[in-house]
Structure 1
Protein backbone atom coordinates (compact mmCIF):
# COMPACT_ATOMS: atom_id res chain seq x y z
CA UNK A 1 0.00 0.00 0.00
CA UNK A 2 1.05 3.53 -0.55
CA UNK A 3 1.93 5.45 2.57
CA UNK A 4 0.84 9.03 2.00
CA UNK A 5 2.89 10.46 4.87
CA UNK A 6 3.34 10.38 8.60
CA UNK A 7 1.54 13.26 10.27
CA UNK A 8 2.93 15.64 12.85
CA UNK A 9 0.48 14.34 15.44
CA UNK A 10 2.43 11.09 15.82
CA UNK A 11 5.58 12.90 16.89
CA UNK A 12 3.61 15.10 19.23
CA UNK A 13 1.92 12.13 20.85
CA UNK A 14 5.21 10.37 21.45
CA UNK A 15 6.68 13.50 23.05
CA UNK A 16 3.74 13.83 25.44
CA UNK A 17 5.00 12.07 28.55
CA UNK A 18 2.59 9.49 29.86
CA UNK A 19 0.30 9.75 26.86
CA UNK A 20 -0.94 6.45 25.50
CA UNK A 21 -1.10 6.75 21.73
CA UNK A 22 -3.07 4.64 19.31
CA UNK A 23 -1.67 1.45 17.83
CA UNK A 24 -0.14 1.71 14.39
CA UNK A 25 -1.15 -0.84 11.74
CA UNK A 26 -0.15 -4.36 12.72
CA UNK A 27 0.25 -3.59 16.43
CA UNK A 28 -3.29 -4.41 17.56
CA UNK A 29 -3.71 -7.26 20.02
CA UNK A 30 -5.03 -10.47 18.46
CA UNK A 31 -8.00 -10.49 20.80
CA UNK A 32 -8.99 -7.02 19.65
CA UNK A 33 -9.03 -7.75 15.91
CA UNK A 34 -12.42 -7.77 14.30
CA UNK A 35 -13.00 -10.66 11.92
CA UNK A 36 -14.84 -9.04 9.05
CA UNK A 37 -14.84 -9.34 5.28
CA UNK A 38 -15.36 -5.64 4.58
CA UNK A 39 -12.67 -3.90 2.59
CA UNK A 40 -10.14 -1.47 3.95
CA UNK A 41 -11.84 1.26 1.91
CA UNK A 42 -15.11 0.61 3.75
CA UNK A 43 -13.25 0.71 7.06
CA UNK A 44 -11.68 4.05 6.09
CA UNK A 45 -15.13 5.44 5.29
CA UNK A 46 -16.32 4.35 8.73
CA UNK A 47 -13.35 6.18 10.28
CA UNK A 48 -14.22 9.27 8.22
CA UNK A 49 -17.79 9.15 9.54
CA UNK A 50 -16.52 8.95 13.13
CA UNK A 51 -14.22 11.91 12.50
CA UNK A 52 -17.00 14.02 10.98
CA UNK A 53 -19.39 13.14 13.81
CA UNK A 54 -16.78 14.12 16.38
CA UNK A 55 -16.06 17.46 14.72
CA UNK A 56 -19.76 18.20 14.26
CA UNK A 57 -20.41 17.62 17.96
CA UNK A 58 -18.42 20.75 18.86
CA UNK A 59 -20.36 24.02 19.05
CA UNK A 60 -19.46 26.72 18.20
CA UNK A 61 -18.06 25.00 15.15
CA UNK A 62 -14.31 24.44 14.82
CA UNK A 63 -12.34 25.22 11.68
CA UNK A 64 -10.50 22.00 10.76
CA UNK A 65 -8.68 20.26 7.93
CA UNK A 66 -7.90 16.68 6.97
CA UNK A 67 -4.32 15.76 7.82
CA UNK A 68 -2.29 12.98 6.19
CA UNK A 69 -3.90 9.55 5.82
CA UNK A 70 -1.68 6.50 6.27
CA UNK A 71 -2.39 2.89 5.40
CA UNK A 72 -0.26 -0.18 5.96
CA UNK A 73 -0.27 -3.93 6.35
CA UNK A 74 -1.08 -6.00 9.44
CA UNK A 75 1.79 -8.43 9.14
CA UNK A 76 0.87 -12.12 8.96
CA UNK A 77 -2.74 -11.57 10.05
CA UNK A 78 -5.17 -12.69 7.34
CA UNK A 79 -8.93 -13.06 6.84
CA UNK A 80 -9.94 -16.09 4.74
CA UNK A 81 -6.34 -16.23 3.60
CA UNK A 82 -6.43 -12.65 2.36
CA UNK A 83 -3.88 -10.01 3.33
CA UNK A 84 -5.13 -7.39 5.76
CA UNK A 85 -4.31 -3.78 6.46
CA UNK A 86 -5.22 -0.83 8.66
CA UNK A 87 -5.86 2.84 7.93
CA UNK A 88 -5.14 5.89 10.05
CA UNK A 89 -7.19 9.03 9.37
CA UNK A 90 -6.08 12.34 10.86
CA UNK A 91 -7.38 15.88 11.23
CA UNK A 92 -6.00 19.14 12.60
CA UNK A 93 -7.94 22.04 14.09
CA UNK A 94 -7.11 25.46 12.69
CA UNK A 95 -9.20 27.35 15.23
CA UNK A 96 -7.11 29.07 17.92
CA UNK A 97 -8.16 27.45 21.18
CA UNK A 98 -6.99 29.44 24.20
CA UNK A 99 -5.33 27.73 27.15
CA UNK A 100 -8.32 28.74 29.26
CA UNK A 101 -10.73 26.79 27.02
CA UNK A 102 -8.74 23.72 25.97
CA UNK A 103 -10.01 21.67 28.89
CA UNK A 104 -13.59 22.55 28.00
CA UNK A 105 -13.10 21.44 24.41
CA UNK A 106 -11.57 18.15 25.55
CA UNK A 107 -14.61 17.71 27.79
CA UNK A 108 -16.98 18.20 24.86
CA UNK A 109 -15.16 15.53 22.87
CA UNK A 110 -15.02 13.10 25.79
CA UNK A 111 -18.76 13.45 26.45
CA UNK A 112 -19.58 12.97 22.77
CA UNK A 113 -17.52 9.79 22.56
CA UNK A 114 -19.15 8.40 25.70
CA UNK A 115 -22.61 9.28 24.35
CA UNK A 116 -21.83 7.27 21.22
CA UNK A 117 -21.05 4.23 23.37
CA UNK A 118 -17.29 4.48 22.91
CA UNK A 119 -14.92 3.45 25.71
CA UNK A 120 -12.39 5.96 27.06
CA UNK A 121 -9.21 3.88 27.25
CA UNK A 122 -6.80 6.44 28.68
CA UNK A 123 -6.38 10.12 29.46
CA UNK A 124 -3.32 12.30 29.82
CA UNK A 125 -3.81 15.25 32.16
CA UNK A 126 -0.52 16.87 31.13
CA UNK A 127 -0.84 20.65 31.19
CA UNK A 128 1.32 20.95 28.07
CA UNK A 129 0.08 17.98 25.99
CA UNK A 130 -3.27 16.71 27.31
CA UNK A 131 -4.85 13.85 25.40
CA UNK A 132 -7.76 11.41 25.37
CA UNK A 133 -7.81 7.95 23.78
CA UNK A 134 -10.95 5.94 23.10
CA UNK A 135 -12.27 3.02 21.08
CA UNK A 136 -15.55 1.94 19.51
CA UNK A 137 -17.18 -1.47 20.14
CA UNK A 138 -15.80 -2.46 16.71
CA UNK A 139 -12.32 -1.50 17.93
CA UNK A 140 -11.75 1.65 15.89
CA UNK A 141 -9.24 3.61 18.02
CA UNK A 142 -9.59 7.38 18.41
CA UNK A 143 -7.25 9.94 19.90
CA UNK A 144 -7.38 13.68 20.48
CA UNK A 145 -4.13 15.40 21.44
CA UNK A 146 -3.35 19.03 22.22
CA UNK A 147 -0.01 19.77 20.59
CA UNK A 148 2.20 22.79 20.11
CA UNK A 149 0.53 26.21 20.38
CA UNK A 150 -2.58 24.50 21.71
CA UNK A 151 -3.44 22.95 18.35
CA UNK A 152 -5.87 20.01 18.52
CA UNK A 153 -5.00 16.88 16.52
CA UNK A 154 -7.32 13.94 15.94
CA UNK A 155 -6.43 10.41 14.87
CA UNK A 156 -8.56 7.34 14.11
CA UNK A 157 -7.01 3.92 13.50
CA UNK A 158 -9.12 1.13 11.98
CA UNK A 159 -8.85 -2.53 12.97
CA UNK A 160 -7.29 -4.91 10.45
CA UNK A 161 -9.54 -5.59 7.45
CA UNK A 162 -9.09 -7.10 4.00
CA UNK A 163 -6.52 -5.02 2.15
CA UNK A 164 -7.70 -2.79 -0.69
CA UNK A 165 -6.88 0.52 -2.32
CA UNK A 166 -7.89 3.40 -0.06
CA UNK A 167 -9.10 6.76 -1.38
CA UNK A 168 -8.62 10.08 0.44
CA UNK A 169 -11.46 11.14 2.77
CA UNK A 170 -14.62 12.23 0.96
CA UNK A 171 -16.07 13.98 3.99
CA UNK A 172 -15.87 17.76 3.79
CA UNK A 173 -13.66 19.64 6.22
CA UNK A 174 -14.48 23.33 6.64
CA UNK A 175 -10.92 24.65 6.67
CA UNK A 176 -8.65 25.59 3.77
CA UNK A 177 -6.48 22.58 2.75
CA UNK A 178 -2.79 23.21 3.33
CA UNK A 179 0.16 22.59 1.05
CA UNK A 180 3.31 20.68 1.99
CA UNK A 181 3.98 18.18 4.73
CA UNK A 182 3.74 20.45 7.77
CA UNK A 183 0.41 21.29 9.35
CA UNK A 184 0.12 25.09 9.70
CA UNK A 185 -0.26 26.61 13.15
CA UNK A 186 -3.84 27.41 14.19
CA UNK A 187 -4.78 30.81 12.76
CA UNK A 188 -8.58 31.11 12.78
CA UNK A 189 -9.98 33.29 15.57
CA UNK A 190 -13.16 32.25 17.36
CA UNK A 191 -14.98 34.65 19.67
CA UNK A 192 -15.80 31.63 21.83
CA UNK A 193 -12.87 29.17 21.67
CA UNK A 194 -10.15 31.81 21.43
CA UNK A 195 -11.37 33.79 24.46
CA UNK A 196 -8.82 33.99 27.26
CA UNK A 197 -11.32 33.42 30.04
CA UNK A 198 -12.72 30.08 31.28
CA UNK A 199 -16.21 29.13 30.17
CA UNK A 200 -18.61 30.30 32.90
CA UNK A 201 -20.23 27.51 34.93
CA UNK A 202 -23.98 27.17 34.40
CA UNK A 203 -26.15 28.78 37.05
CA UNK A 204 -27.55 26.34 39.65
Structure 2
Protein backbone atom coordinates (compact mmCIF):
# COMPACT_ATOMS: atom_id res chain seq x y z
CA UNK A 1 0.00 0.00 0.00
CA UNK A 2 2.85 2.37 0.83
CA UNK A 3 4.35 1.78 -2.63
CA UNK A 4 1.07 2.82 -4.28
CA UNK A 5 0.99 6.06 -2.25
CA UNK A 6 4.64 6.86 -3.11
CA UNK A 7 4.08 6.19 -6.82
CA UNK A 8 0.96 8.37 -6.81
CA UNK A 9 2.90 11.17 -5.09
CA UNK A 10 5.69 10.89 -7.68
CA UNK A 11 3.16 11.10 -10.50
CA UNK A 12 1.65 14.24 -8.93
CA UNK A 13 5.12 15.79 -8.68
CA UNK A 14 5.80 15.03 -12.36
CA UNK A 15 2.62 16.86 -13.28
CA UNK A 16 3.84 19.89 -11.29
CA UNK A 17 7.23 19.85 -13.07
CA UNK A 18 5.79 21.24 -16.30
CA UNK A 19 7.96 23.80 -18.12
CA UNK A 20 7.50 27.35 -16.93
CA UNK A 21 7.47 28.92 -20.39
CA UNK A 22 5.96 28.27 -23.77
CA UNK A 23 7.60 28.02 -27.19
CA UNK A 24 7.11 31.72 -27.96
CA UNK A 25 8.69 32.77 -24.67
CA UNK A 26 11.54 30.29 -25.18
CA UNK A 27 12.19 31.61 -28.68
CA UNK A 28 12.22 35.20 -27.42
CA UNK A 29 14.59 34.31 -24.56
CA UNK A 30 16.93 32.50 -26.98
CA UNK A 31 16.97 35.62 -29.19
CA UNK A 32 17.93 37.79 -26.19
CA UNK A 33 20.77 35.41 -25.31
CA UNK A 34 22.02 35.40 -28.90
CA UNK A 35 21.74 39.19 -29.28
CA UNK A 36 23.75 39.66 -26.09
CA UNK A 37 26.37 37.18 -27.23
CA UNK A 38 26.81 38.90 -30.58
CA UNK A 39 27.05 42.32 -28.89
CA UNK A 40 29.77 40.99 -26.54
CA UNK A 41 32.14 40.17 -29.42
CA UNK A 42 34.73 42.94 -29.99
CA UNK A 43 35.52 44.06 -32.54
CA UNK A 44 32.02 43.35 -33.77
CA UNK A 45 31.30 40.68 -36.36
CA UNK A 46 28.74 40.57 -39.15
CA UNK A 47 26.06 37.95 -38.56
CA UNK A 48 22.70 36.73 -39.81
CA UNK A 49 19.90 34.70 -38.29
CA UNK A 50 20.50 30.98 -38.61
CA UNK A 51 17.97 28.22 -38.89
CA UNK A 52 15.59 27.46 -36.08
CA UNK A 53 14.83 24.08 -34.61
CA UNK A 54 11.65 22.91 -32.94
CA UNK A 55 11.50 19.24 -31.98
CA UNK A 56 8.51 17.69 -30.25
CA UNK A 57 9.33 16.03 -26.94
CA UNK A 58 7.94 12.58 -26.29
CA UNK A 59 7.79 9.93 -23.65
CA UNK A 60 10.10 6.96 -23.97
CA UNK A 61 7.25 5.32 -25.89
CA UNK A 62 7.02 8.02 -28.60
CA UNK A 63 3.90 9.53 -27.11
CA UNK A 64 3.67 13.33 -27.33
CA UNK A 65 4.02 15.31 -24.12
CA UNK A 66 2.62 18.64 -25.30
CA UNK A 67 6.11 20.11 -25.11
CA UNK A 68 8.76 21.06 -27.66
CA UNK A 69 12.51 21.73 -27.64
CA UNK A 70 13.28 25.15 -29.15
CA UNK A 71 16.64 26.33 -30.56
CA UNK A 72 17.59 29.56 -32.33
CA UNK A 73 20.94 30.41 -33.93
CA UNK A 74 23.20 33.05 -35.45
CA UNK A 75 25.69 32.49 -38.26
CA UNK A 76 28.77 34.69 -38.21
CA UNK A 77 29.58 35.95 -41.70
CA UNK A 78 32.88 37.53 -40.69
CA UNK A 79 35.85 35.35 -41.60
CA UNK A 80 37.50 34.24 -38.35
CA UNK A 81 41.01 32.89 -38.91
CA UNK A 82 42.21 29.77 -37.08
CA UNK A 83 44.59 32.04 -35.17
CA UNK A 84 41.57 33.96 -33.80
CA UNK A 85 39.34 31.00 -32.85
CA UNK A 86 40.70 30.95 -29.29
CA UNK A 87 40.10 34.68 -28.81
CA UNK A 88 36.52 34.39 -30.06
CA UNK A 89 35.74 31.43 -27.81
CA UNK A 90 37.31 33.18 -24.83
CA UNK A 91 35.32 36.40 -25.35
CA UNK A 92 32.09 34.44 -25.57
CA UNK A 93 32.99 32.26 -22.58
CA UNK A 94 33.69 35.34 -20.43
CA UNK A 95 30.40 36.95 -21.47
CA UNK A 96 28.37 33.81 -20.75
CA UNK A 97 30.11 33.42 -17.40
CA UNK A 98 29.28 37.06 -16.52
CA UNK A 99 25.64 36.27 -17.39
CA UNK A 100 25.61 33.37 -14.91
CA UNK A 101 26.23 30.44 -17.26
CA UNK A 102 27.77 27.30 -15.77
CA UNK A 103 28.67 23.70 -16.65
CA UNK A 104 31.13 24.77 -19.34
CA UNK A 105 32.46 22.23 -21.81
CA UNK A 106 35.27 23.20 -24.17
CA UNK A 107 36.43 21.19 -27.18
CA UNK A 108 39.78 22.74 -28.14
CA UNK A 109 40.28 21.24 -31.59
CA UNK A 110 42.38 23.55 -33.81
CA UNK A 111 40.02 23.25 -36.80
CA UNK A 112 36.55 22.86 -35.23
CA UNK A 113 36.61 24.13 -31.64
CA UNK A 114 33.43 24.63 -29.63
CA UNK A 115 32.25 25.75 -26.25
CA UNK A 116 29.03 24.79 -24.51
CA UNK A 117 27.39 25.94 -21.30
CA UNK A 118 24.05 26.18 -19.53
CA UNK A 119 22.47 29.48 -18.50
CA UNK A 120 21.02 29.99 -15.03
CA UNK A 121 17.51 29.61 -16.49
CA UNK A 122 18.33 26.29 -18.17
CA UNK A 123 19.15 27.27 -21.75
CA UNK A 124 21.95 25.47 -23.56
CA UNK A 125 24.35 27.85 -25.31
CA UNK A 126 26.86 26.70 -27.90
CA UNK A 127 29.49 28.44 -30.03
CA UNK A 128 31.06 26.20 -32.66
CA UNK A 129 33.39 26.51 -35.62
CA UNK A 130 32.22 24.38 -38.52
CA UNK A 131 34.29 22.34 -40.95
CA UNK A 132 34.30 25.09 -43.60
CA UNK A 133 35.44 27.74 -41.12
CA UNK A 134 31.92 28.98 -40.49
CA UNK A 135 31.08 30.02 -36.94
CA UNK A 136 27.64 29.71 -35.42
CA UNK A 137 26.08 30.30 -32.03
CA UNK A 138 22.98 28.51 -30.74
CA UNK A 139 20.71 28.93 -27.72
CA UNK A 140 17.81 26.69 -26.79
CA UNK A 141 15.85 24.89 -24.13
CA UNK A 142 14.24 21.48 -23.88
CA UNK A 143 10.57 20.66 -23.59
CA UNK A 144 8.65 23.90 -23.12
CA UNK A 145 4.87 24.12 -23.49
CA UNK A 146 3.61 23.94 -27.07
CA UNK A 147 2.40 27.27 -28.47
CA UNK A 148 2.35 29.35 -31.64
CA UNK A 149 5.64 31.08 -32.46
CA UNK A 150 6.85 34.16 -34.25
CA UNK A 151 10.32 34.69 -35.67
CA UNK A 152 12.52 37.74 -36.21
CA UNK A 153 12.60 39.18 -39.74
CA UNK A 154 15.27 37.48 -41.83
CA UNK A 155 14.95 34.06 -40.19
CA UNK A 156 15.70 31.39 -42.82
CA UNK A 157 12.76 29.22 -43.78
CA UNK A 158 10.23 31.58 -42.18
CA UNK A 159 7.93 34.12 -43.89
CA UNK A 160 9.97 37.09 -45.13
CA UNK A 161 13.27 35.27 -44.64
CA UNK A 162 15.57 33.55 -47.10
CA UNK A 163 14.90 29.94 -48.05
CA UNK A 164 18.34 28.81 -46.86
CA UNK A 165 20.66 30.01 -44.12
CA UNK A 166 23.88 31.75 -45.09
CA UNK A 167 26.70 29.60 -43.79
CA UNK A 168 29.84 30.67 -45.63
CA UNK A 169 31.80 33.53 -44.05
CA UNK A 170 32.49 36.28 -46.59
CA UNK A 171 33.15 39.51 -44.66
CA UNK A 172 36.75 40.55 -44.00
CA UNK A 173 37.86 41.98 -40.66
CA UNK A 174 41.32 43.46 -40.02
CA UNK A 175 41.24 41.80 -36.59
CA UNK A 176 39.18 38.58 -36.87
CA UNK A 177 40.42 37.56 -40.32
CA UNK A 178 44.08 38.21 -39.53
CA UNK A 179 46.43 35.25 -39.42
CA UNK A 180 48.79 37.23 -37.18
CA UNK A 181 47.80 36.60 -33.55
CA UNK A 182 49.87 39.62 -32.42
CA UNK A 183 47.74 42.02 -34.45
CA UNK A 184 45.38 44.06 -32.25
Matches within 5 A, 1:56-95: 56-76=39-59, 83-95=66-78
- Over 2 Å off, 4+ runs: 34-38, 169-172, 177-184
1:159 deviation in Å?
2.7
The answer to whether residue 112 in structure 2 is matched with residue 129 in structure 1 is yes
Cα deviations by residue, 1:134-167 (Å, 9 ceiling, x for unpaired)? 1112210011111133221111121321101121
Structure 1 gaps of 5+ residues are: 1-30
- Distance in 2, Cα, partners of 1:182 & 1:161: 25
What's the Cα RMSD here?
A: 2.7
- Distance in 1, Cα, partners of 2:41 & 2:71: 22
- Distance in 2, Cα, partners of 1:180 & 1:170: 13
1:178 deviation in Å?
8.0
Where relative contact order (Cα < 8 A, 6+ residues apart) is larger, the structure is 1
Structure 2 gaps of 5+ residues are: 1-13
When structure 1 is superposed on structure 2, of 143-152 and 85-94 the one drifting more is 143-152
TM-score (norm 1): 0.71
Specify the structure having the higher radius of gyration (Cα). Answer: 2
- Distance in 2, Cα, partners of 1:182 & 1:200: 31
8 A contact 1:68–1:89 mirrored in 2: yes
Aligned residues: 162
